[in-house]
Amino acid sequence: MTQTDTQTTPANVDNGVNVEALLGAREALDAAPEAAQFKWRTSCEWVNGTHSRSTVSGFFGLGEEQARSKDFTIESDHPEVFAAEDHAATPVEIVLSGLASCLTAGVAAVAQHRGIQLHSVKATLEGDMDLQGILGIDDDVRNGFGNIRVNFTVDADASEDEIKALVAQSQKRSAVFDIVTNPTNVFVTVN
């Protein structure tokens, strides 16, 4: 399939995504599903109040531990209306950002694969939350988002339907979209 697929990508389309490598990886991992088993990690330390700092470093994949060139940190806090110091974005905003980044990366990859040159991609996200949930005021209200709305503005050498199809396909293959739209078992232990 690589043959036909690479043929569909004209050489002059460059969204900075190495589709050949991705397709190669897909073929390799299809043949060796053990190597496709990844584990992603983060560790978080409390700083003060609602302020915390997560560090992202190595992960497991392709059958072994993978090191990063450097560690990444993600800070989180709450705004002043929550009587906090607003050092950084709230965790739920980080979740929205994760969803946005995942979908946006997906749009670029799918566009490259389909031979569509992108000029700009902008995603704006908004999530509804009824605070009666987290504050324990009303048990019928969930803690998390009620609805999440994602709006894409895409400038690309493609028709309106082709752009819609890019965005739809990106959702179909997105990890964070799946994490947000489907339940996941979460196991929490205490040392």
Partner 1 sequence: MKTTTTVIIGAGQAGLAFSKRLADRSIDHVLIERGEVANSWRTERWDSLRLLTPNWESRLPGYAYDGDDPDGYMDMAEVVQFMQGYADTTGAPVQTNTTVKSVHPADVGYVVATDHGEWHCPTVVLATGACNIATVPKVAADLPSAIKSITPMQYRNPQQLQDGGVMVVGASATGVQLAREIQRSGRQVTLSVGEHVRLPRLYRGRDIKWWMDVTGLMNMSYTEVDDIKRARGLPSLQLVGTPERSTLDLNALREDGVRIVGRLAGLHDGKAQFSGALGNLCALADLKMNRLLDSIDNWATANGIDGEVEPARRFAATQLDPEPTLGLDLTTAGIKTVLWATGYRPDYSWLNVPVLDRKGRIRHDGGVVDAPGMYVMGLPFLRRRKSSFIDGVGDDARDLVNHLCSRLHRQAA
Residues that bind partner 1 (CB under 8 A): 1, 4-5, 8, 33, 146-147, 161, 164-165, 168-169, 171-172, 177-178, 180-183
Question: Do residues 84 and 104 touch, judged by C-beta distance below 8 A?
Answer: no
- Shortest approach of partner 1 to residue 117 CB, angstroms? 20
Question: Do residues 151 and 124 touch, judged by C-beta distance below 8 A?
Answer: yes
Cα–Cα distance between 191 and 189 in angstroms, integer? 7
| Of residues 16 and 183, the one with the C-beta less far from partner 1 | 183
Which sign, positive or negative, has the C-alpha torsion 105, 110, 111, 112? positive
Which has the closest alpha carbon to 3: 31, 24, 17? 24
| Of residues 35 and 84, the one with the C-beta less far from partner 1 | 35
| Of residues 64 and 128, the one with the C-beta less far from partner 1 | 128
- Shortest approach of partner 1 to residue 138 CB, angstroms? 17
| Of residues 97 and 171, the one with the C-beta less far from partner 1 | 171
- Shortest approach of partner 1 to residue 118 CB, angstroms? 18
DSSP 49-72: TTEEEEEE--EEETTEEE--SS-E
- Shortest approach of partner 1 to residue 57 CB, angstroms? 31
Which has the closest alpha carbon to 159: 111, 100, 123, 113? 111
- Shortest approach of partner 1 to residue 87 CB, angstroms? 31
Q: Are strands 59-61 and 118-127 parallel, antiparallel or unpaired?
A: unpaired
| Of residues 147 and 151, the one with the C-beta less far from partner 1 | 147
